[in-house]
Amino acid sequence: LGEIISVNHMEANLLLSQYGVPRKRFDVIDVDPFGSPVPYLDTSLRALRNNGLLALTATDLAPLCGVHSRACQRKYGGKPLRTEYCHELAIRLLTGCVAATAAKYDIGLRVLFSHSNDHYIRVYTQIKYGAKKGDASIGTLGYVLHCFNCFHREFTKNPFSKNIENCPECNSEMDWAGPLWLGEIFEEHFCELLAEENRHIALRNSRKISKMITLVKDEMAEAATYYVIDKISDKLSLPVPSVFSLVQKLREKGFRAIPTHFNSRGIRSNASALTIQELIKELVLKTT
């Protein structure tokens, strides 16, 4: 192994900068710092080969989840929002930052996988050389509009090209987050490869990994962002129905619905926020 493995104790940016030339670049770079990976983005991108894999960890969830909004705007170049689905927004803000940074070097992104666990988020992206690839990634950036009164949310490329002051559902004032990544944050084939690998490797937490991958594979086809039942029930001053009962109710009404790995009390659905509220009321009245 000594012939193929090299161990270095060096400042990360200094090390990566030494491999930022053709024929010396890496196939895989995993940046797992304490805090934000942003200080290492430029050198990591330059030190990756075409089609290389960049894995990033961010533990600074307070800025990314909207607790420290200005810190997020400084580090990630996007405005966060303290919503019930802030962990998904955190992944999209981080990915958006990577896309904007990569585009400076005529590099585009293909997001393979992402997840939120405990007190950190992880994003796995494959980089693609080419100005057109970079343009395509930049074209995937946009904004989320959110109503804190009725939980309505929508995506837009430019929130300032339309009236964002009023929610189309309840006419309340809306807020926004971004710019952030509006594209896919999971890829089906990559999830299948992960599941297959997990079945053949004896890991201490293989069951936990398997459960997460299964949830991700189910939710990837559903609408972006998710609803947290507890938050909606609290807003309505009603008891909280089970995730299972609400998912079943939505499906009975012809909507798609699936739990999410982001939150054990969350669901993804193509139903509107107001529809979900009405169905929660129905479920609660049925059990009282």
Read off the tokens for 24: 């010396």
- Model confidence at 2, pLDDT cuts 50, 70, 90, reads confident
CA-to-CA dists, residue 138 to 17, 134, 157, 173, 204, angstroms: 25, 6, 11, 28, 39
Which range has the worst mean pLDDT, 60-64, 150-154, 263-267, 281-285?
281-285
Q: What is the pLDDT of residues 21-49, one digit of tens each?
A: 999 999 999 999 999 999 999 999 999 99
pLDDT tens-digit readout, 118-129: 899 999 999 999
Please write the tens of the pLDDT for every residue from 82-97: 999 999 999 999 999 9
Rg (CA), the chain: 20
CA distance 261 to 203: 20
Question: Region 278-283: what's the mean pLDDT?
Answer: 95
For 166-225, the pLDDT digits (tens) are 899 999 999 999 999 999 999 999 999 999 999 998 888 899 999 999 999 999 888 899
Length of the chain: 288
Query: What is the phi/psi pair of residue 148, to 5°?
Result: -80, -10
Find residue 227's DSSP bridge partners.
Answer: 267
Average pLDDT, rounded, for the chain? 94
**pTM for the model:** 0.95
b/e string for 187-207 if b means 16 or more Cβ within 10 A? beebbeebeeebeeeeeeeee
Residue 5 and residue 168: Cα distance in Å, rounded?
58
* DSSP H/E element including 147: strand 141-147
Provide the β-strand partners of residue 144.
155, 177
CA distance 274 to 167: 12
Domains identified in the chain and CATH numbers: 12-184 (3.40.50.150), 227-287 (3.30.56.70)
The DSSP H or E segment spanning 276 is helix 273-287
Distance separating alpha carbons of residues 59 and 33, to the nearest angstrom = 8
CB 107 within 8 A of CB 134: yes
